[in-house]
Amino acid sequence: MAQLLSPPLKDDLDIVIPTIRNLDFLEMWRPFFQPYHLIIVQDGDPTKKIRVPEGFDYELYNRNDVNRVLGPKANCISFKDSACRCFGFLVSKKKYIFTIDDDCFVAKDPSGKEINALAQHIENLLAPSTPFFFNTLYDPFREGADFVRGYPFSLREGVPTAISHGLWLNIPDYDAPTQLVKPRERNTRYVDAVMAIPKGTLFPMCGMNLAFDRELIGPAMYFGLMGDGQPIGRYDDMWAGWCAKVICDHLKLGVKTGLPYIWHSKASNPFVNLKKEYKGIYWQEDIIPFFQNVVLPKECTTVQKCYIELSKQVKEKLGPLDPYFQKLGDAMLTWIEAWEDINSPAKTAPSQANGAKKDESSTKQK
Amino acid sequence: MNQEDIKDSDIDIVIGALQPDLTSFLNEWRPVFSRFHLIIVKDPDLKEQLNIPEGFDHHVYTKPDIEKAVGASSTILFSGYSCRYFGYLVSKKKYIISIDDDCLPARDNEGNLVDPVAQHITNLTTPATPFFFNTLYDPFRDGADFVRGYPFSLRSGVTCALSCGLWLNLADYDAPTQALKPQQRNSQYVDLIMTVPARALLPVSGINIAFEREMVGPALFPALRLAREGKLRWETIEDIWSGMCAKVICDHLGLGVKTGLPYVWRSAKGDPIESLKKEWQGVKLMEEVVPFFQSVRLPRTATTTEDCVAEMAKSVRERLGSVDPVFNHAADAMLQWVKLWKSVGSGSSTPGGA
């Protein structure tokens, strides 16, 4: 009988899943996800019981747990929005995070083979990035590719990869106006590429299918104030992406995008989306130039320092746009404080793993 | 200009002939090329007569033509792979598509023959989006669009002035890479077109390229010649050099550069290890130029491509002249090119074109 290879980074990676409905989608992912530890962040009504399929090793946090773990700092974690997922990033103890939405399923590549999205993300994260010079054959570290003629040798070592941004077949991640105009459009194009997003270039980071090195960039992966009680929604991952990219550029870390694909099954209601996004669509026009022009001082040598500096600039430069940004800037600081509280080595806080609620019957099958 | 408005007569296909017998090359390309006018420029160092099959609307330029147009002392600019730049100079069309003479049509993942002319023209006649990265790549492709989070004010894009295609089989690797991996072949047909973001530098390969002649022509020049430049792609760097200048200039003028499809099928020629001896100079020079390109800024007063090239030449001389004399020669050649472009070429350009 063939010896199965141990799943890569089995003990170094957590899968963070925000959910308000159910976790049935995990059944399809079982062959790829079962070896890994899950952190489920249950949004919405904490009294609802979310059933986790048998055989998965997990911790589950509902809103009560979030409040208990963070105390007054819990106000930085969004409610009624998948932005709450970043609570999972906060409490994880692993080096790597993979986060996926509960309406994302296993996709197939053009040969019909099922795509192990997690394995591809791991490959992306473990190989260097090349953000300082664009390689026309895309990721030079992929099997079968390389650096092209003219690519400077001094830049071929690359830099560590902090973020791996995956894509989606079927329902594309469009904004509400585009959804309204093209309700039937489906993404059927499988683009067999991974690439580093060049330094100085911003991108729209989608949280549906995303992995990152928590040690390299974790504190920057705050998904903002969205949802209940907030004037905006569906900009959580965007916000985290812009902050994280600016910081990655400053700290010489790489961000990759492209493979893997997942199959996105659910199209959210475009009218509901429009209401959530509406302010964002206008604010974006000011937010983008802000991020494009942000300069982080040389003294910001850690992610936390960069993030704190960023929060100051957000309040100063975007505050005039809307008081929301003052709140957001404050929440960014709260997030960093919470991050330090929970992740500082000295802390052996009782607040940490107690959020875990394990089903008696859920034991890892090996 | 919309793609529907583009006529076949708006396009010149420029082929640099480094080998005398173009029969099989042109016959393979006949289904794609036969509609268009071809400018075939014979490498001035090539002694044999060119062999061109029937049925193509073409014009051949040889050493005497080059000498007549630019003077005998300039002919050196157009030797080897650089001969095709003469074709860029004398063309009067709106678009130029140039493919190396060792490339043949490729097939896509469905087995269909790729028409690089049509794809390049599509790339050039749809906007580029250099100011913000779209994660679904070219939003103007069928079945794609801008994703959530893409600022609306940036969705109209800018004119795409340069389209860089790719290569299946023998990719455009440098000699060290090819020597290390002699069996490596590029078999991945990546169904992707994207805009290269503003301020990102890239190696522009001249093997499979297309551009808007008036906008970018002045910025594509055979200026950086290696001391032991040869007749193999591994032994040249002129396209990389001018491509980087062109990208800086496009960024400055608000023009777009796309990369990705179309693919051509490139076949093997030569020994990379032999080329390694020659190309080390090119590889070393690249190390010197990266910081220069990353930081060079063009003055706001440079509003035409020709002005930009002149400014770049100045910067090259000032900042790289002392690093290696080859850069002083390059700066001279760039200025000479602008002069030629103005006198031999059919007129100056402004960004935004027709």
Cα distance between residue B281 and residue B258, in whole Å: 28
For residue B143, the chain A residues in CB contact (below 8 A) are 185-189
Cβ atoms of B91 and B39 within 8 Å: the answer is yes
Residue B155 pLDDT more than 70?
Answer: yes
A213 domain residue, yes or no: yes
Q: Which domain holds residue A127?
A: 103-349
Quick check: B72 contacting A, CB < 8 Å?
no
- Best mutation target among B108, B131, B135, B153 (most A Cβ atoms within 10 Å) is B135
Segment A104-157, tens digit of pLDDT:
999 999 999 999 999 999 999 999 999 999 999 999 999 889 999 999 999 999
For B292-339, how does the pLDDT look when each residue is reduced to its tens digit (9 = 90+)? 998 999 999 999 999 999 999 999 999 999 999 989 999 999 999 999
Counted domains in chain A:
1
pLDDT of residue A348: 47
B205 touches chain A (CB under 8 A): yes
Cα-only R_g, chain B:
19
Strand A37-42 vs strand A194-196: parallel, antiparallel, or unpaired? Answer: unpaired
Contacts of residue B350, Cβ cutoff 8 Å, sequence gap at least 6: B303, B304
Could you give the CA distance from residue A293 to residue B313 in angstroms, rounded to a whole number?
29
C-alpha distance from B256 to closest chain A C-alpha (Å) = 14
**The pLDDT value given to residue A357:** 44
Residue type, B90: V
Q: Output the pLDDT for position B75.
A: 64
Please give the pLDDT value at position A70: 96
Instruction: Measure CB to CB from residue B171 to each of A137, A186, A188 and give the nearest one.
Output: A137
Please tell me the least confidently modeled range out of A30-34, B5-9, B161-165: B5-9
d(CA B176, CA A141): 16
Which is it for strands B256-266 and B193-195: parallel, antiparallel or unpaired? antiparallel
pLDDT-derived band at A350, boundaries 50, 70, 90? very low
- The helix-helix angle for B305-320 and B272-295 (nearest 10°) equals 100
Residue A350 has a CB neighbour count (10 Å cut-off) of 9
Q: What is the per-residue pLDDT across A296-346, written as a single tens digit (0 to 9) for each? A: 999 999 999 999 999 999 999 999 999 999 999 999 999 999 999 999 876
Q: Is residue A77 part of a domain?
A: no
Averaged pLDDT score across all residues of chain B: 90
Residue B105 and residue A140: Cα distance in Å, rounded? 24
Each residue of B172-205: pLDDT tens digit? 998 888 888 888 899 999 999 999 999 999 999 9
Distances (CA, A) of A132 to A330, B128, B293: 33, 21, 12
CA distance A98 to A83: 15
A365 in any annotated domain: no
List the one residue out of B119, B123, B151 whose CA is nearest residue B138.
B123
Residue B227 has pLDDT above 80, yes or no: no
pLDDT, tens digit (0-9, with 9 covering 90-100), for A206-222:
999 999 999 999 999 99
Residue type, B120: H
E strands of chain A, at which residues? 13-19, 37-42, 57-61, 96-100, 104-106, 161-170, 194-196, 209-213, 254-264
Instruction: For residue B46, count other CB atoms closer than 10 A to its CB.
Output: 18
Q: What is the pLDDT of residue A354?
A: 38
Tokens of A48: 């609802």
CB B144, CB B193: distance < 8 Å = no
In a domain, A315, yes or no: yes
Q: Quick check: bond before B262 cis, omega within 30? A: yes
Q: Considering only the beta carbons, identify the residue of B135, B201, B283 that sits closest to A204.
A: B135
What residues of chain A, 96 to 135, have a C-beta less than 8 Å from chain B?
110, 132-135
Please indicate, yes or no, if residue A302 is contained in any of the structural domains: yes
Q: How many CB atoms lie within 10 A of CB B229?
A: 21
Phi-psi region of B255 (alpha: psi -120 to 50; beta: other; left: phi over 0): beta
In a domain, A304, yes or no: yes
Looking at the DSSP bridge assignments, the partners of residue B58 are B38
Nearest-CA distance B52 → chain A (Å): 30
pLDDT at A347: 54
Run of H or E including A119? helix A117-126
pLDDT in tens, A255-308: 999 999 999 998 899 999 999 999 999 999 999 999 999 999 999 999 999 999
Q: What is the pLDDT of residues A226-251, one digit of tens each?
A: 998 999 999 999 999 999 999 999 99
Q: Choose among B203, B119, B265, B155: nearest CA to A152.
A: B203
In this structure, how many other beta carbons lie within 10 angstroms of the beta carbon of residue A348? 6
| DSSP-H helix ranges across chain B | 23-33, 63-70, 83-90, 116-125, 175-180, 213-216, 238-253, 272-295, 305-320, 325-343
Among A335-349, B34-48, B171-185, B259-273, name the most confident range: B34-48
How many CA atoms are closer than 13 Å to the CA of B313, on its beta-carbon side? Answer: 25
pLDDT confidence of residue B278: 65
Residue A235 dihedral angles phi and psi, to the nearest 5°: -125, 10
CB-based contact (8 Å) between B347 and chain A?
no
Q: Looking at B140-144, B157-161, B283-287, which range is the least confident one? A: B283-287
Q: Which residues of A touch B177 (CB under 8 A)?
A: 146-147, 149
Dihedral angle, C-alpha A183, A187, A188, A192, nearest 10 °: 170
Q: What is the mean pLDDT of chain A?
A: 92
Tell me if A219 is assigned to some domain.
yes
Is A356 touching B (CB cutoff 8 A)? Answer: no
- What is the ipTM metric for this complex? 0.93
Region A162-191 average pLDDT: 96
Contact B286, B176 (CB under 8 A): no
- Residue A7 located in a structural domain: no
C-alpha to C-alpha distances, B97 to B15, B93, B115, nearest whole angstrom: 9, 10, 12
pTM, to two decimals: 0.93
> Which of A150, A178, A201 lies closest to B133 in CB terms?
A201
Which whole-number Å values give the CA distances from B267 to A137, B102, B104, B291, in the listed order?
Answer: 17, 6, 8, 33
Q: Do A148 and B186 touch (CB under 8 A)?
A: no
